[in-house]
Structure 1
Amino acid sequence: MDVKVIQLPGNEDLPLPVKMSEGASGFDLHAAVTEPVVIGPGKWKLIPTGIAVSMPSSLEAQVRPRSGLALKQGVTVLNTPGTVDADYRGEIGVILLNLGEQPFEVKRGDRIAQLVFSLVPEIRLVRVDKLDDTARGAGGFGHTGT
């Protein structure tokens, strides 16, 4: 399946997203900041990637954290997974959140998140008067114990 990607003006020096291994699910996104950005502990910032995509309507893209940044720096994606809809043509941005104890510096070209593509099934919501019964029923958060 083809997904078109464009580097926005002024970002031609950055690499396009790429899978870092043959079996990887996500394409690494790079920071397109013009100067270093510092994210303090407990703070978040929107980081541009310098790219936009065009994908078939049967796809969505999800912006997800990089496990290495999460483990080593305590940095994650605030609205994980962030959704990029098939009809969106603007720049992909990443809301980075620093849950670590030290300020985190984002430099141009840093790998900051990953983009994972998923199929979106054609769904139609149908109004009904009653739902089917199940053993769980309306049991919610923590209903089965810890």
Structure 2
Amino acid sequence: MRGFQPVSEPHRQHPAAEVQLPRRGTRHSAGYDFVTPVDLTVLPGELVRVATDVKAYMQPGEVLQIYVRSSAGLRGLMLANTVGIVDADYYGNPDNDGNIVLALRNLGAEPFEAHAGDRIAQGVFMPYLLADGDDGFSSGEVRSGGYGHTGR
């Protein structure tokens, strides 16, 4: 019904890294922890994009919301778009196979460092509602691309 898979080999951004699928840290955790596949440093004021090499599948009427983990946020790290929204039709798109990319910005005064395998973000599957009169295809557009496809 919903879950995570590695992206296909041609769309991997870090082919030498082991893909770690997101998982919950405790029985009652709402969020699935995303790890960085590579070592990274985000300097103060800098924006760094890191592909997770993970894609998410879900049912129609669901969305995956991605947040920075609290521990990283306390050190000044945030997602550049504050909350990542992964739609169901992002999965398997032809541009990147649905590779979830985290755009990280450091608002702190010190460099933010993370090592491969460190938990840096968390994703929460949520249902969503449509407004009255919305048949779900109000724009008529069907996803044909990847990251930022509908926001050109």
- TM-score norm. by structure 1 comes to 0.75
Match of 1:30 in 2: 35
Larger radius of gyration: 1
Partner Cα distance (2:2, 2:17) in 1: 18
Alpha-carbon spacing, 1:122–1:98, altered in 2? closer, same or farther (3 Å)? same
- Consecutive unaligned residues in structure 2, runs of 5 or more: 10-14, 92-97, 135-152
The offset of 1:14, in angstroms, is 3.3
The offset of 1:12, in angstroms, is 7.1
- Consecutive unaligned residues in structure 1, runs of 5 or more: 127-146
Match of 2:82 in 1: 80
The offset of 1:39, in angstroms, is 1.1
Asked whether the 8 Å contact 2:80–2:104 carries over to 1, the reply is yes
* Paired residues, number: 122
The offset of 1:19, in angstroms, is 0.8
Deviations 1:71-112 (A, max 9, x none): 1x2112121211001110210111111111111223222211
Alpha-carbon spacing, 1:11–1:86, altered in 2? closer, same or farther (3 Å)? farther
Alpha-carbon spacing, 1:42–1:17, altered in 2? closer, same or farther (3 Å)? same
Alpha-carbon spacing, 1:103–1:12, altered in 2? closer, same or farther (3 Å)? closer
Q: Percent identity?
A: 32
- TM-score norm. by structure 2 comes to 0.72
